[in-house]
Amino acid sequence: MDKVIHFSGGSPSINGSQHRASAFAGEGSRLSDLLHLLSSTEAPGLAALVDEPILSRRLHEGDTLFHEGARADAIYFVRSGSFKTFCTAEDGYEQVLGFVGRAEVLGFDALCTNRHPNSAVAMEDSSVFGVPVRDLSALGRRVPAFDHALVLAVSRELAHRGDLANVMAAVAAEVRLARFLVQWSTRMAARGQSPRRFVLRMSRREMASHLGVAHETVSRGFRVLANAALVKVCNREVEILDMDGLKAFSCSTRRPIDEDAAASAGHSQHAALWSGAPATRHAEAA
Amino acid sequence: MDKVIHFSGGSPSINGSQHRASAFAGEGSRLSDLLHLLSSTEAPGLAALVDEPILSRRLHEGDTLFHEGARADAIYFVRSGSFKTFCTAEDGYEQVLGFVGRAEVLGFDALCTNRHPNSAVAMEDSSVFGVPVRDLSALGRRVPAFDHALVLAVSRELAHRGDLANVMAAVAAEVRLARFLVQWSTRMAARGQSPRRFVLRMSRREMASHLGVAHETVSRGFRVLANAALVKVCNREVEILDMDGLKAFSCSTRRPIDEDAAASAGHSQHAALWSGAPATRHAEAA
DNA sequence: CGATCGTTTGACGGTGCTCAATCACCGTGG
DNA sequence: CCACGGTGATTGAGCACCGTCAAACGATCG
């Protein structure tokens, strides 16, 4: 059964709107709606072919689209809103894998095992299209535009998870945060929204899980970046003041293989960033 | 140094051993070979349909299949051998994203941008099948078996990168290593090889990059795991002595919610592991 | 207003990163 | 055969960064 059960992650839910049954195949959406969502370039002449009903579903903030371990009945495309995907450890710790937004795909990694390796929860009121796995190949064959869009969406998702590794690989916590902000900025730009000013809908704790640090460290990281005048932070609103500086700062890696490369000062305007803090990190080249 | 061997016969190969029938369309590989590689369940009756030539290529250890930033001409399937995929930072630091083995897909994350976001290098003498991106959709439509196998392979790759996040998310370095070993063991089992005894072909440094730690820490981590009698390590050969113990240990997330759980003799034989002393294996029973 | 959750800030202790030396292994060439 | 350099793996020492614990602060809601 695909009933949405609220996870008691240690907090008894105060959200009464949980058990409001959201029917799967509601509101008579059409396949053309999905194609329109996925392809920025409108493919004309297909209206007749693709004007068939399609599954869609609405979720409220906090609703679970699918649970970790659940059978993979369908894959989903985010129509509006946003989701977080995460794994839950035995002790209840949530490892956030990613944040999924409009026109992106959800649940594709379940196809290889027929079980979802992670859960997906709406971070705000959202809606999705669903494509049953058994219809997937047939649909792709019948509608090349869908097939192409699917490949693109999955490829993008794969790339996102590659980026995640790059984020979590950074040594310093502030660098992880900086990389995350740069990536988010890029995604916002790709979505046609402002890359300099945006709202991070996830909580500090979710962000921290995604970055692989403690949530207190995220707060401290924001403070460091703000003190360096790279960003301005007000609650969950973020404004990037110095994009180049932020990018330069986010390039800091582990001990460089080539020591000389570090010596060439190049553009190390972020040296001031470290020195500003109470403790000077690894005495900087004078 | 890293000589890139190009596919098409148009480019003069740098590698001398290339010109002998291992150019792009060399050695008369057939599409049926690729299908046989990808599908464990043999799909019969397609022989005639799929008996057409297909691109294939051989690489020696250290050869680059594609470079980060290169145009995405094709996606690849590993026929034999194994590869590492990695991003190179400006300072030369290599962030290893994953290790790709037989029947797995390479380069799919390049489709969304037409540029490879990472490089792929053979970790041993290897061979791959290649499918040009422009033929991808047509091939999938013509040969459903291929389409299905592609979906499966990509889904698996996506799941692998999800696992990567779980590995890198672990706080303790030894736990990351343990998780990595468990995952590798699972992959070896899926490949039909021994899940208890295998050879890790990557260097300590590559492993460290993949885990997000310093390479010295990997050495120390192996030592800890060996002292706990969970594994036996000889250079790059690994033997898992206590699979259950290793899995239990790899479940440790960031600071267990309750310290008491560690004290409770229940399922925490690894409590002794932290103590540092060469612990007697199943010490705690009473 | 009280309650609850999210966020911030402080203090402390531990872990892993850095630096560095040593050993093991390998192919080369004397 | 051993000397030689080169690479990779291991081990040690020091200390700074971050995770943990704790408390104060702010926001939202009923």
The nucleotide whose C1' lies nearest the CA of A10 is C5
Q: Tell me how close the Cα of B17 comes to any Cα of chain A, in angstroms.
A: 31
Contacts of A118 in chain B (CB under 8 A): 162
**DSSP string for A241-268:** S-HHHHHHHHT--SS-S-HHHHHS-SS-
Binary contact (A169, B257; C-beta < 8 A): no
Tell me if chain B has a CB within 8 Å of the CB of A91: yes
Q: What percentage of chain B has pLDDT greater than the value 70?
A: 75
Q: What is the structure's pLDDT at B50?
A: 63
Nucleotide with smallest C1' distance to residue A217 CA = D18
Return the pLDDT at A264.
40
* Chain B 181-210, residues with CB within 8 Å of chain A CB atoms: 209
Rounded to whole angstroms, how far apart are CA atoms B118 and B64?
11
Q: Name the residue in chain B with its Cα closest to that of A92.
A: B257
Where does B201-253 have alpha helices with state H? 204-211, 215-227, 243-250
Task: List the A93 CA – C4 C1' distance (angstroms).
Answer: 21
| Strand D reaches within 7 A of the A217 CB | yes
B235, closest nucleotide (Cα–C1') = D9
Report residue B114 as tokens. 């037409």
A260 in contact with chain B, both atoms CB, cutoff 8 A? no
The pLDDT value given to residue B270: 45
CA distances from A256 to A177, B171, B229 (A): 20, 23, 34
So what's the pLDDT on residue A282? 43
Number of CB pairs, chain A paired with chain B, less than 8 A apart: 142
Least confident range of A190-204, A260-274, B90-104, B113-127: A260-274
Q: How many residues does chain A have?
A: 286
Contact, B37 vs B51, CB < 8 A? no
Q: Are B32 and B51 spatial neighbours (Cβ–Cβ below 8 Å)?
A: yes
Question: How does strand A64-66 pair with strand A119-122?
Answer: antiparallel
Q: Check pLDDT > 50 for residue B269.
A: no
Q: What is the pLDDT of residue A47?
A: 58
pLDDT value, residue B13: 36
| pLDDT (0 to 100) of residue A50 | 64
State whether the Cα torsion B165-B171-B177-B183 is positive or negative.
negative
Contact call for residues A226 and B60 (beta carbons, < 8 A): no
| Residue of chain B nearest A259, judged by CA positions | B91
B117 at the A interface (CB within 8 A)? yes
What integer pLDDT is reported at residue A175 of this predicted model?
Answer: 95
> Looking at per-residue confidence, does A242 or B285 come out higher?
A242
For nucleotide D17, give the residue with the nearest CA to its C1': A172
Question: In chain A, positions 133-172, which contact chain B (CB-CB < 8 Å)?
Answer: 136-137, 140-141, 144, 147-148, 151-159, 161-166, 168-169
Report the chain A residue with the minimal C-alpha distance to residue B94.
A257
Residues 6+ apart with CB under 8 A from B51: B30, B31, B32
Distance, CA of A211 to C1' of D29, in Å: 30
Mean pLDDT of B187-191: 92
Q: How far is A247 from chain B (nearest CA, A)?
A: 12
- Is residue B218's beta carbon less than 7 angstroms from any atom in nucleic acid strand D? yes
pLDDT band, residue B31 (cuts 50/70/90): confident
Instruction: Output the pLDDT for position A278.
Output: 38
Reported confidence tier of residue B121, pLDDT bands at 50, 70, 90:
very high
Which two structure tokens, joined as six digits, stand for A100? 């999924």
In A25-69, beta strands by DSSP E: 29-30, 53-59, 64-66
Task: Say how far B236 CA is from C26 C1', in Å.
Answer: 16
pTM given for the model: 0.82
% of chain B beyond a pLDDT of 90: 61
Partners of B91 on chain A (C-beta within 8 Å) are 251, 253, 256-258, 261-262
The two beta strands, A197-199 and A231-234, are unpaired
Segment B75-104 mean pLDDT: 94
**Stretch B167-182: mean pLDDT:** 94
Confidence class for position B74, pLDDT limits 50, 70, 90: very high
Enumerate long-range contacts of B14-20, CB under 8 Å, 24 or more apart. B15/B60, B15/B63, B17/B60
pLDDT, average across residues B162-173: 93
Query: Which strands form A94-100's sheet, in the order they lie side by side?
Result: A64-66, A119-122, A83-88, A94-100
Q: What is the pLDDT along chain A (286 residues), one digit of tens a residue?
A: 333 433 333 333 333 333 333 444 456 778 877 788 787 665 555 555 667 788 999 999 999 999 999 999 999 999 999 999 999 988 888 999 999 999 999 999 999 999 999 999 999 999 999 999 999 999 898 888 899 999 999 999 999 999 999 999 999 999 999 999 999 999 999 999 999 999 999 999 999 999 999 999 999 999 999 999 999 999 899 999 999 999 999 988 765 544 444 334 334 444 445 444 333 444 333 2
Angle formed by the axes of helices A144-169 and A204-211, nearest 10°: 80
Nearest to A165 among B147, B154, B164 (CB): B164
Chain A contact probe: residue of B254, B260, B268 with most A CBs at under 10 A: B254
Decide if B112 touches A, using CB distance below 8 A: yes
Q: CB contact, 8 Å: B111 with chain A? A: yes
